[in-house]
Amino acid sequence: MTMRWLWVAFLVAAGAAVPSGYAAAADGEGACPRAGTLGVSRTVEIDTTGGPGFGMEHYKAYDFLQPKEVVLTFDDGPQKYSTEAVLKALGDECVKATFFSIGKMALGYPGIIRDVAKAGHTIGTHTWSHKALGKLKKFDDAKDEIERGFSAVHRAVGGPIAPFFRFPTLVDTQEAVAYLGKRNIAMFSCDIDSIDYKPQTAEHLVKSLMQKLDKRGKGILLMHDIHKTTAKAVPMLLAELKAKGYKIVHMTAKSPVTTVAEYDAAIEKDAKGLPQVGAERPISSIVHTVEGTPAPAEASPAKDSAATTSATAATEAAPPAVPPASPVTAPPASPATTVGAVSGETPAPGSATATPAESEPTGLPGEEHPDVAPSQSSEQTAAPSTSAPAPEATKAVTNSSASGTPATTSSVVRTVSEPPAEGNTTPGKSAADGQPAHQNSKSIMERAKETWRLWFGE
């Protein structure tokens, strides 16, 4: 008996010596906030009334970031493997980002875009098929790209998405700016462009980004979650940000986007086989192995469809025009409001077009582009689309509202949560996402009793 008690004392002492951050990770790996992670320093809520613009590269009215603050944004996804890797890297550091998804891509990989929403990231849109809107002959075609993008991403997510929009190639038009203003949809450029679509190593990408960030001191970063190099670089980038004392700001919207009924109906033909949220069935209840070795998901029927979302949302090849009927898991939220069709109107006076940036290749990700080497492009697998020519240079926008009505940054952007004074890594309740951290303040006697029960029973 004495020997047993010695073992108990040793185990209790060993448990007591475990650092609190390690214990939190062991008790609830993935739970945020978590000690030692970069985390979210501040969450802001954006009032999109009138279509304000953000990102000093084109829209200069609302600069809401403080020194050493960074907003992470990703365009063109979702994509198999690369988006999943980006999500894992962000989750490992308890970081939140904004994803500007393409409609076709979202319908092609509904499971992955729902994983993005489930992880608490903000989802905006990037048109239906990444066409350069300024190159389209009629504005009605540009409006279709905008609205089909919102309806498709909303349908794929199965819940509310943000009224956040980023122009393909970062080039807007007077009519598009005016239209988004009437629709109360915010426009996003960037402060720092990663230019991650160009062939380079992950190490070079991180070094280049950090040099730009160190020079500017803060900013909205533009990256693409369709590139394997970017996915590989994200963990290294987050480590550099943490080491240099940068803080992450998470952007959210005051209200969800209101999709247009006409486009919601039109998008259903592209969403064949995609079940509505709540109508999914776990794949283990539909497919059973009757001969041979069961698949891992089938061997563990206790896991729900969330465990098989990424594997069944799409094949490893290009996302189909009609998405597969795979079970997917959506965030617990009510669907966005639907409104009647919005007709195009003449542009508001004073609006201008943005200058092109070296941010993204035209057309849908995965196609051949003049500024993407074949080796880089061949790594991507995406839905087919018509490629658009490179944008022409136009005048930079300095106003960021289609209506032209002046407004202060504080009336458009509002901080809704900040970390406690001790810092973002303090165990407890997260101000950013409201998730409680695991508590590990057990007494020595409680640890001893638990160990005793483990070894010898009651």
pLDDT band at 252 (very low <50, low <70, confident <90, very high): very high
pLDDT band at 382 (very low <50, low <70, confident <90, very high): very low
Q: From residue 389, how far is each of 136, 365, 369 by CA, in Å?
A: 10, 14, 9
Q: How far apart are CA 22 and CA 34, in angstroms?
A: 9
What pLDDT shows up at residue 114?
95
Say which residue, 317 or 7, is predicted with more confidence.
Answer: 7
CB 143 within 8 A of CB 344: yes
Say which residue, 317 or 6, is predicted with more confidence.
Answer: 6
What pLDDT shows up at residue 406?
57
- Mean pLDDT score across all residues of the chain: 74
Give the residue carrying structure tokens 């730009």: 212
What pLDDT shows up at residue 363?
41
Question: What is the largest distance, in Å, between two alpha-carbon atoms of the chain?
Answer: 88
pLDDT at 309 over 90: no
Query: For 380, left (φ over 0), alpha (ψ -120 to 50), or beta?
Result: beta
How does strand 42-46 pair with strand 247-253? parallel
> 245 in helix, strand or coil?
coil
* Token output for 101: 């998804």
H-helix or E-strand spanning residue 192: strand 192-193
Question: How crowded is residue 317: how many other Cβ atoms within 10 Å of its Cβ?
Answer: 9
pLDDT at 133 over 90: yes
Q: How far apart are CA 225 and CA 67, in angstroms?
A: 26
Q: How far apart are CA 124 and CA 75, in angstroms?
A: 9
User: Which of 417, 353, 430, 416 is closest to 47 using CA atoms?
Assistant: 416
Say which residue, 11 or 156, is predicted with more confidence.
Answer: 156
pLDDT at 430 over 50: no
Q: How far apart are CA 104 and CA 126, in angstroms?
A: 10
pLDDT band at 296 (very low <50, low <70, confident <90, very high): low
What pLDDT shows up at residue 303?
40
CB 127 within 8 A of CB 145: yes
Residue 134, φ and ψ in degrees, nearest 5: -70, -15
What pLDDT shows up at residue 278?
64
Say which residue, 374 or 89, is predicted with more confidence.
Answer: 89
Say which residue, 30 or 40, is predicted with more confidence.
Answer: 40
Residue ranges of domains in the chain = 33-449
Q: How far apart are CA 321 and CA 272, in angstroms?
A: 9
pLDDT at 178 over 80: yes
Q: What is the gyration radius of the CA atoms in the chain, in angstroms?
A: 24
Give the dihedral of Cα atoms 124, 129, 131, 137; nearest 10 deg: -110
What pLDDT shows up at residue 285?
78
pLDDT band at 266 (very low <50, low <70, confident <90, very high): very high
pLDDT band at 109 (very low <50, low <70, confident <90, very high): very high
The CA-based angle 187-129-391, given to 5 degrees, is 65
Instruction: Please tell me the least confidently modeled range out of 240-254, 351-365, 375-389.
Output: 375-389
CB 304 within 8 A of CB 282: yes
Say which residue, 402 or 109, is predicted with more confidence.
Answer: 109
Instruction: Please tell me the least confidently modeled range out of 38-47, 225-234, 257-266, 444-453.
Output: 444-453
* Token output for 285: 């209840």
* Token output for 118: 């489930």
What pLDDT shows up at residue 380?
40
pLDDT band at 275 (very low <50, low <70, confident <90, very high): confident
CATH class of 33-449: alpha beta
What pLDDT shows up at residue 452?
63
pLDDT band at 331 (very low <50, low <70, confident <90, very high): very low
The share of the chain scoring above pLDDT 90, in percent, equals 52
269: which DSSP letter? G
Q: How far apart are the first and last CA of the chain?
A: 15
Q: How far apart are CA 225 and CA 76, in angstroms?
A: 7
